[in-house]
Amino acid sequence: MDVNDTMLDIGGPVRITDFGGEGPLIFLVHGIGGSTENWAVAGPELTPLGHVVALDLIGFGDSEPQGRRPSVEDNALLLAEATHLLGYEMATLIGNSMGGLISMIAAVEHPDRVDRVVLVDPALPVSRRHPPDLEVLTKLLGPLIPGVGVPAFRAYRASHSPEEETAETLRMVTADPDTVPEWAKEQLTEANRRRRGRDWAIPAFLEADRSIARYVLRPRRFRKLIHRIGAPTLLIHGSEDRLVSVDSARWAASERPCWTYVELDGVGHVPMLEAGERFVTAVAAWWGNSR
């Protein structure tokens, strides 16, 4: 199956990876620090459901900010604008981690552009019973300390190769890094390599991280957000997610009993990479019953 990369102009460059397929538009929305490569395993397998497109959010991958803000709110608007630019009235949003939060915001702020939502281990309020472990907290919250973020990132990349960065990231976000195909790891490493040559990448990451914190550290605000989502919603979560505890997902599912909730045993934060077949099966099973 042919996969095509193109660049759109939406107030600046936006990289689009088109996996093909016909029918309704399906947008794949990556998490913080990610890019369209995060969908390389599952993207082609979702094409029987519609026209599947992944995009690099503002400030990530090849989508240079050029004066645009990489916040979750601005990237939610980007999804609405990209849907229109591609010639569709509405899109189904499949968002992982930060991309899940962005998809929720888009469903609330731009409901006329969002048909359905699939949340894949989305950013959620921190569980009091099972908060992230020290390594995860250091990686996610450490950069938010004023004066720490940029120097810390630069020091890390100076002491780690792109291959080491990929391996360490997968160790943190998957239950078992060996479940990710080698060819997919190579694509992720190449994306890491490209990112290192861009002086805007680290500040964009930090701004996006701060915008996520404004939601996940304010449970009341988050609760209001999820109760305003009117689109049919599927929530998929890995039982072994170290970044977003499965307790948080169970809380969200209990708050919105009209949502469909699927828990994937033995899977971490990125089911579409580490359990692609099970992930696609779950989405396809829900798809036909989401009306």
Q: Which residues pair with 136 in a beta bridge?
A: none
Q: What is the pLDDT of residue 196?
A: 85
Position 289 scores a pLDDT of 78
> CATH number for the domain including 210?
3.40.50.1820
pLDDT of residue 160: 82
Residue 288's pLDDT is: 83
Q: Which residues of the chain fall short of a pLDDT of 50? A: none
- Cβ atoms 235, 136 nearer than 8 A: no
Q: Which amino acid is at 82?
A: A
Give me the count of residues in the chain: 291
User: Do 33 and 196 form a contact (C-beta atoms < 8 A)?
Assistant: no
Residue 234 pLDDT: 98
Number of domains in the chain: 1
Tokens of 60: 């990530």
Across the chain, where does the E strand assignment appear?
Answer: 4-9, 13-20, 25-29, 51-55, 91-96, 114-120, 233-238, 260-264
Give residue 86's pLDDT.
96
Q: What is the DSSP string of 43-60?
A: GGGGGGGSEEEEEPPTTS
| Three-class secondary structure of residue 262 per DSSP | strand
- What pLDDT does 149 receive? 62
Q: Which amino acid does the sequence have at 24? A: P
Containing structural domain, residue 261: 4-287
pTM of the full predicted structure?
0.94
Output the six-digit token pair for 85: 């630019």
